[in-house]
Structure 1
Amino acid sequence: MNKAFVKKSDGDDDDLEFGLPPIPAGTKNYMTPAGHARMKAELLDLIDNARPEVVRIVSWAASNGDRSENGDYIYGKRRLREIDRRIRFLTKRLDLAEIVDPSVHHGNDQVFFGATVIYQTQSGEEHTVTIVGIDELDPLNGKISWISPVARALTKAREGDLVTLMTPAGLDELEILSVSYPEAN
């Protein structure tokens, strides 16, 4: 196929490539201070350590001659593209980030961004979740995005409230057992 008919990526699919949902149009990229610090540390590590190391390897491999069958060169260039793509993604997400410190709600029993909520379903299952930003999402460790259906159902409710959640199995009622926030540092 002629290259003129092949769509060249403009880099906007970075969100999907890294397994993260895109930021919904018209919303902000809320992030906790800890999540922002982790992303910034990853970005600085890629820029200061990983990228220079791969550039060194590619440069060495290029000096060995024929690049067409040079595995170090080919895989090094591929790794360099992956690192550059991740750097673009992190830079874009950090530029859009709005840091929200959940400790300002310490002692509050109402659910807002950054809250750790213990709730019970109608079937008696107890769950503990922390409402975080899209980029901090880690469902296996109880960190859910503020745009998730569970977080939206819980937001603005208080300890002891019953909230309704639409699930694939139908409506479920969640009872909020406790709400907590980290203490200010």
Structure 2
Amino acid sequence: MPAPASNPISPAGLAALKARYDQLLGTERPAIVELVSWAAGNGDRSENGDYLYGRKRMREIDRELAHLARRMKSARVIDPADQPDPARVFFGATVTLADDDDQQRIVTLVGDDEQDAGNGAIGWSSPMARALRGAAVGDVRTVRLPGGEKDWEVIAIRYA
């Protein structure tokens, strides 16, 4: 799947991507290169577990580095505190929602690279985030999910 032309991300999210990139490039990859070099010097490479594992891991690291580089290149940093209308749901909003049974849920709209649904951080392009964009307190939005539709009322909006 090609990366979108614009990748909204918070300053903290971009810093996390950069930290992961630097850690892979500066620590993990050199260690694997050293392991592969040492293992290659041990002779027959076809049955050398360290060599085979090291080459496989190096390819994985290189793929992840390329992915991170693409995501950082397309990143558009948005500071949630700079949103033009804090009374509406936009990128970076922390939204308190209530369903038909009055069960409340708190979600924060973050970049797709920062999402962590278990902690309430939902990706900007997720179905719920798309449904909530532009909503104000009191609005009811229908979220279409594979399991069916569900209505959520916006109870509160805040920006950190």
Q: TM-score under structure 1 normalisation? A: 0.80
Match in the other structure for 1:28: 6
Match in the other structure for 1:179: 157
Cα distance in 2 between the residues matched to 1:170 and 1:71 = 48
Q: Which structure's residues are more often strand, by fraction?
A: 2
Match in the other structure for 1:116: 94
What is the CA distance between 1:88 and its match in structure 2? 0.5
Distance 1:42 1:170, change over 3 A: closer
Cα distance in 2 between the residues matched to 1:63 and 1:78 = 17
Cα distance in 2 between the residues matched to 1:169 and 1:56 = 49
Distance 1:77 1:160, change over 3 A: same
What is the CA distance between 1:164 and its match in structure 2? 2.6
Match in the other structure for 1:93: 71
Cα distance in 1 between the residues matched to 2:145 and 2:61 = 38
Which segments of structure 1 move beyond 6 Å, counting only runs of 4 or more?
Answer: none
Match in the other structure for 1:51: 29
1:80 matched to 2:58? The reply is: yes
What is the CA distance between 1:173 and its match in structure 2? 2.4
Unpaired runs of at least 5, structure 1: 1-14, 16-21
Distance 1:55 1:167, change over 3 A: closer
Match in the other structure for 2:42: 64
Do the aligned residues in 1 keep the contact of 2:3 with 2:71 (CA within 8 Å)? no
How many residue pairs are counted as aligned between the two chains?
160
Match in the other structure for 1:137: 115
Q: Name the amino acid aligned to 1:62.
A: A
What is the CA distance between 1:106 and its match in structure 2? 8.9
Distance 1:59 1:99, change over 3 A: same
Q: TM-score under structure 2 normalisation? A: 0.92
Q: Name the amino acid aligned to 1:49.
A: T
Q: Name the amino acid aligned to 2:35.
A: I
1:127 corresponds to which of 102, 105, 108:
105
Query: How large is the Cα RMSD of the aligned pairs?
Result: 1.8
Q: Identity percentage over the alignment?
A: 46
What is the CA distance between 1:160 and its match in structure 2? 2.2
Do the aligned residues in 2 keep the contact of 1:106 with 1:181 (CA within 8 Å)? no
